[in-house]
Amino acid sequence: MMKEAESIGVTEDLTTAVTLPPPPASRKSLLFMVIIGAQLLIIIVVGSLMIRTIPSSPHFLQHFMARTAIGQAGGFEMDKNVTMDWHKLSNRMEHLNMNPVYASLGIPRKIVRPVVNLLLIVSSAPSRIERRMAIRDTWWNQSTTNDKVVVKCVFMTDKVDPTTEIGQKVAQENEKYKDMAFQNLRGGVEFGKRFLYHMIWALQNYEFDYFMRMDDDYFLCLERFIKELPMPRRSMYHWGFVHCVPSIVRPEESIILFSRDLHERLLDQDPALIKSHPWADQMVATWIKELNIQNIYNHDPRLHHHPVLKFINNVDVKFKDVCKNFIGVHGSYPKYQRSLWKLRNGVEYAGKGLDGYTNKCNHPQVFVWSVFGGVWRYEPKKFIDNPTWDTQKQGGGNQAYGGREDGRNR
């Protein structure tokens, strides 16, 4: 026993050695452990408080972490101060990425945002190159014809793998025309989420008076539209095609315009409550209902919505001098875009402005989603839960939605 004690440097009897006070080094180790324990306690307390500020849904947390990774991979930093109390902040529109729903989209905010009067976003699937070219060859160029209204036109499409054939074509297209923006969405029937993405992207990238979103199969008499656009900006203003149907009154999503304040009002919702839907028109109608915004829709009967042009005989007769009698034509696929462009024959502008042509729906502004049936019937769900719907009845999966061009009655 004594030899063992000597071998480790203890010169007294082992019994005596055990009862001696610890050496200075041991006291330092004890103090270090106390400090570490206190720090761990602080981390646990602070962490528990932080967890209370983000959604409890595991589906949303998984989705948010995935979007954060995408954002970092894209060369920008996500706002880490995400809070469910975003809607209580006084300057919340300047901090959209503190909203857990909007932050999950991964859209950075530009420090310097160009100022425009009209921001026009045309939603287009990556494969719809012919549609985009038909628009570029026709009315797209009219965005520079009015020096009193500054217009910015952007094609918004999905990000695609640059190593694929379509990815290479889209990259070359954007390199040539520089009029495209890309979204981190899967494609297919998720028009509500796509519409929300466009709304957030607009605020993060531009200062604007009006936000306008439309489909890539719309022919727009843009020159006339710019002349009729209310300036200075109208407050709480909507313009477009309105489905005036009892119990399901709603704006058509294929062409829709909001004034800046209405745009922000629609987004100014509690992140725990804001609803999503596969169809953007039903989503917007749900928002309007839950925000109790009354008498808001302005329908312009000069917008041709149905049927699509390929099912109309004598298009050149019906749409002769198209921009004198219409201001937009839905269902105008590439060859019809070019035909209508040739038929416009100048513009007759009466000076009345959009208000001189629009009207209100004669039914109460009521929207009840359960009235729908068939391919249109989906229950609105909270964005915060990262909802999914069975959209197989729409066909196409994650591919470009064919819609009425494929013979669907939409």
Buried b (16+ CB within 10 A) or exposed e, 212-229: bbbbbbbbbbbbbbbbbb
DSSP state of 399: S
| pLDDT given for residue 314 in this prediction | 92
Q: Is residue 75 part of a domain?
A: no
The Cα 225–Cα 36 span in angstroms is 67
Q: Is residue 277 part of a domain?
A: yes
When divided into structural domains, the chain yields a total of: 1
State yes or no: pLDDT of 32 exceeds 60: no
pLDDT in tens, 182-208: 998 876 668 899 999 999 999 999 999
307 — phi, psi (to 5°)?
-85, 175
Which pairing describes strands 275-276 and 381-382: parallel, antiparallel, or unpaired? antiparallel
pLDDT in tens, 339-350: 999 998 877 677
Strand order in the sheet with 180-183: 180-183, 151-158, 115-123, 207-215, 250-259, 238-243
CB-CB contact of 108 with 71 (8 Å) = yes
Helix, strand or coil for residue 347? coil
CATH number at residue 196: 3.90.550.50
| pLDDT given for residue 207 in this prediction | 98
CB-CB contact of 253 with 369 (8 Å) = no
Q: Is residue 181 part of a domain?
A: yes
Q: Is residue 16 part of a domain?
A: no
Q: Is residue 346 part of a domain?
A: yes
pLDDT in tens, 284-300: 999 999 999 999 999 99
State yes or no: pLDDT of 271 exceeds 90: yes
Q: Is residue 155 part of a domain?
A: yes
Q: Is residue 42 part of a domain?
A: no
State yes or no: pLDDT of 72 exceeds 80: no
The residues, any chain, with a CB within 8 Å of residue 57's CB and separated by 6 or more, are 384, 385, 386
Containing structural domain, residue 388: 102-406
DSSP state of 233: P
Tokens representing residue 63 in the block: 């989705």
State yes or no: pLDDT of 248 exceeds 90: yes
The residues, any chain, with a CB within 8 Å of residue 352's CB and separated by 6 or more, are 228
Q: Is residue 25 part of a domain?
A: no
Number of Cα atoms under 13 Å in the Cβ half of residue 312:
18
Helix pair angle (165-177, 129-136), 10° resolution: 10
